[in-house]
């Protein structure tokens, strides 16, 4: 008796082999598929050793029952070997459908060998009549077989992989599965779309996920003929600069592509890291673009006829109330208190109302500017570059203001201001404020004093974070500010 057929040797070896495979399966999860067949094969081996002295029983079906676990184990080992060789040669795992085909072929060969050895079935007559049977089966299952072989061809050609975003004919979605019969897509709307493989082969397949690089999209915008293209380019580039998620390279490209019936058409070519991001990014571009265009007085035209009425529209009434709110705010701002009521009204007439979207940067620290802002609605956050990073130092709301140093001296922005919510601003620049100072040059003295006090408060707030404030600099700051104001406005 061979030691391997001795029950006292076979049983401990079978138990040891199963425990060893369990340990290996924990270290290599790919081996878990072998656990079931291996356990059954070990059990069959033990039964043969104990009951049949290491020989297969003569009963055909009992011999088949003992051989089946070994066949299953052999096929799964062969499939694992095929997957390893495919991965080594191609650099990636083989398609699941191709691995299934290999398994089916091996199972067929094993079934023929078992039928011959256990029952003495001669395969030659079967092969002789296989042409007739194949013709009958082929006619009955031609669609199914067509889908099967098309699925195999798709797996070999690999026009797409699981997880790719594709467009097959008029259908668009993410590849979820390629089975024997069909390809399944997960659409934008959360639905599962099943397309027979043979239909996939007949349609054009557009793969949005390959090659693995930033994906480009086109967005068309129509704007009025009265707006110069250079102004539109600047507005579009500003809006694109505020969009989060756009890669720094390659940069978006803006082009004028034609004159249409009622608008000049512009094309925005932008890039997204992955295809599924484009809807979010496109929505953000359109959202920010509306605010920038509206803020700069650029109209988005519609193919309609304008009818002008002599009645005062509600927008004009809203504008009148906005002017009243601005005049009331100016009375409470210390920089405008030295002005008379008439001078404040003159200054208020020079303000322009702008809209900003939540998250937009209104001014940027270190950049030049000459505008002063009063918050009409919404809130903004003031950020200062401290220690190499932007840190919030204040949050301003309706009626508060910022940007006075840039307006009065032309100094670079001392902080970054970002719209914390959707916000409406009143803004005035140097040209709008120039007439007030020219008409009353003495106001510059009072404004320089107030401005020096505000600068002292701001300096103390920043120095409290970095270092102690050195006192005694305010008189020099006041005189210096007065000189800068007079020089800046030519007084």
**Based on the domain organization, do 261 and 318 belong to the same domain?**
no
Is residue 178 over pLDDT 70? yes
**Based on the domain organization, do 334 and 455 belong to the same domain?**
yes
Containing domain of residue 172, as a range? Answer: 155-207
**Based on the domain organization, do 410 and 350 belong to the same domain?**
yes
Is residue 311 over pLDDT 70? no
Q: What is the mean pLDDT of residues 221-249?
A: 85
**Based on the domain organization, do 195 and 268 belong to the same domain?**
no
Domain assignment present for residue 475? The answer is yes
- Please state the domain count of the chain: 4
The answer to whether 419 and 357 are in contact (CB under 8 A) is yes
**Based on the domain organization, do 62 and 102 belong to the same domain?**
yes
Highest mean pLDDT out of 153-162, 286-295, 472-481: 286-295
CATH at 177: 2.30.30.60
**Based on the domain organization, do 440 and 340 belong to the same domain?**
yes
Q: Which pLDDT does position 140 carry in this prediction?
A: 46
**Based on the domain organization, do 334 and 479 belong to the same domain?**
yes
Q: Which pLDDT does position 420 carry in this prediction?
A: 92
Is residue 146 over pLDDT 90? no
**Based on the domain organization, do 411 and 443 belong to the same domain?**
yes
Residue 474, Cβ density class (10 Å: 0-12 exposed, 13-18 middle, ≥19 buried) = middle
**7-54, pLDDT tens digit by residue?**
556 567 767 776 776 777 677 777 777 777 777 777 777 776 666 665
Is residue 292 over pLDDT 50? yes
Poorest-pLDDT segment among 194-208, 254-268, 303-317, 343-357: 303-317
Last residue of a domain, one of 295, 325, 343: 295
**431-484, pLDDT tens digit by residue?**
888 877 777 777 777 777 777 776 666 666 555 555 443 444 444 466 676 677
Phi, psi at residue 470, to the nearest 5°? Answer: -90, 115
Beta-strand ranges (E) seen in 84-154 are: none
For residues 425 and 379, give the distance between their C-alpha atoms in angstroms, rounded to a whole number. 10
Q: What is the mean pLDDT of residues 48-72?
A: 69
Domain assignment present for residue 283? The answer is yes
**Based on the domain organization, do 391 and 472 belong to the same domain?**
yes
Phi, psi at residue 309, to the nearest 5°? Answer: -110, 155
Domain assignment present for residue 321? The answer is yes
For residues 256 and 268, give the distance between their C-alpha atoms in angstroms, rounded to a whole number. 9
For residues 236 and 65, give the distance between their C-alpha atoms in angstroms, rounded to a whole number. 74
How far apart, in Å, do the first and last CA atoms of the chain sit? Answer: 119
For residues 327 and 106, give the distance between their C-alpha atoms in angstroms, rounded to a whole number. 88
The band of 267, judged by pLDDT with boundaries at 50, 70 and 90, is very high
**Based on the domain organization, do 380 and 322 belong to the same domain?**
yes
**Based on the domain organization, do 385 and 436 belong to the same domain?**
yes
**Based on the domain organization, do 277 and 423 belong to the same domain?**
no
What average pLDDT does the structure give for the chain?
76
Domain assignment present for residue 130? The answer is no
**316-375, pLDDT tens digit by residue?**
444 557 778 888 888 888 777 777 888 888 888 888 888 898 889 999 998 888 888 999
């Amino acid at each position: 008796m061979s030691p391997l057929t001795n029950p006292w040797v076979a049983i401990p070896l079978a138990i040891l082999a199963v425990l060893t495979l369990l340990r290996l399966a924990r270290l290599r999860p790919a081996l878990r598929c072998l656990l079931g067949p291996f356990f059954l094969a070990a059990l069959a081996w033990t039964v043969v050793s104990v009951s049949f002295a290491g020989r297969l029983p003569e009963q055909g079906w009992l011999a088949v029952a003992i051989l089946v676990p070994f066949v299953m184990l052999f096929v799964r080992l062969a499939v694992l070997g095929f997957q390893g060789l495919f991965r080594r040669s191609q650099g990636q795992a083989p398609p699941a459908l191709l691995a299934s085909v290999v398994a089916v072929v091996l199972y067929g060969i094993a079934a023929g060998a078992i039928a011959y050895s256990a029952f003495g079935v001669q395969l030659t007559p079967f092969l002789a009549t296989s042409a007739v049977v194949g013709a009958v089966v082929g006619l009955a299952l031609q669609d199914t077989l067509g889908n099967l072989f098309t699925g195999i061809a798709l797996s070999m050609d690999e026009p797409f992989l699981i997880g790719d975003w594709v467009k097959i004919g008029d259908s668009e979605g993410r590849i979820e599965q390629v089975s024997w019969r069909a390809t399944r897509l997960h659409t934008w709307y959360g639905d599962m779309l099943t397309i027979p493989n043979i239909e996939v082969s007949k349609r054009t397949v557009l793969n949005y996920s390959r090659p693995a690089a930033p994906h480009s999209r086109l967005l068309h915008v129509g704007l009025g003929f009265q707006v110069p293209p250079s102004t539109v380019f600047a507005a579009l580039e500003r809006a694109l600069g505020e969009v989060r998620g756009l890669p720094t390279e390659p940069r978006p490209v803006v082009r004028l592509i034609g004159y249409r019936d009622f608008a000049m058409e512009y094309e925005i070519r932008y890039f997204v890291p992955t295809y599924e991001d484009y809807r979010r990014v496109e929505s953000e571009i359109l959202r920010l673009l509306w605010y920038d265009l509206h803020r700069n007085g650029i109209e988005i035209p519609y193919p309609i006829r304008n009818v002008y009425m002599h009645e005062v529209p509600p927008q004009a009434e809203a504008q009148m109330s906005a002017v009243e709110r601005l005049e009331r705010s100016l009375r409470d701002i210390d920089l405008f208190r030295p002005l008379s009521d008439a001078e404040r009204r003159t200054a208020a007439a020079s303000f322009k109302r702008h809209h900003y979207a939540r998250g937009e940067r209104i001014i940027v620290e270190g950049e030049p500017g000459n505008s002063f802002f009063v918050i009409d609605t919404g809130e903004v956050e003031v950020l200062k570059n401290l220690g190499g990073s932007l840190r919030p130092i204040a949050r301003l709301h309706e009626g508060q203001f910022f940007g006075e140093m840039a307006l009065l001296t032309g100094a670079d922005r001392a902080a970054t201001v970002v719209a914390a919510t959707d916000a409406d601003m009143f803004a005035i620049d140097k040209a709008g404020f120039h007439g007030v100072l020219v008409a009353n040059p003495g106001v510059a003295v009072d404004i320089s004093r107030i401005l020096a006090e505000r600068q002292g408060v701001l300096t103390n707030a920043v120095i409290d974070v970095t270092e102690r404030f050195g006192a005694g600099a305010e008189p020099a700051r006041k005189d210096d500010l007065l000189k800068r104001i007079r020089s800046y406005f030519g007084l």
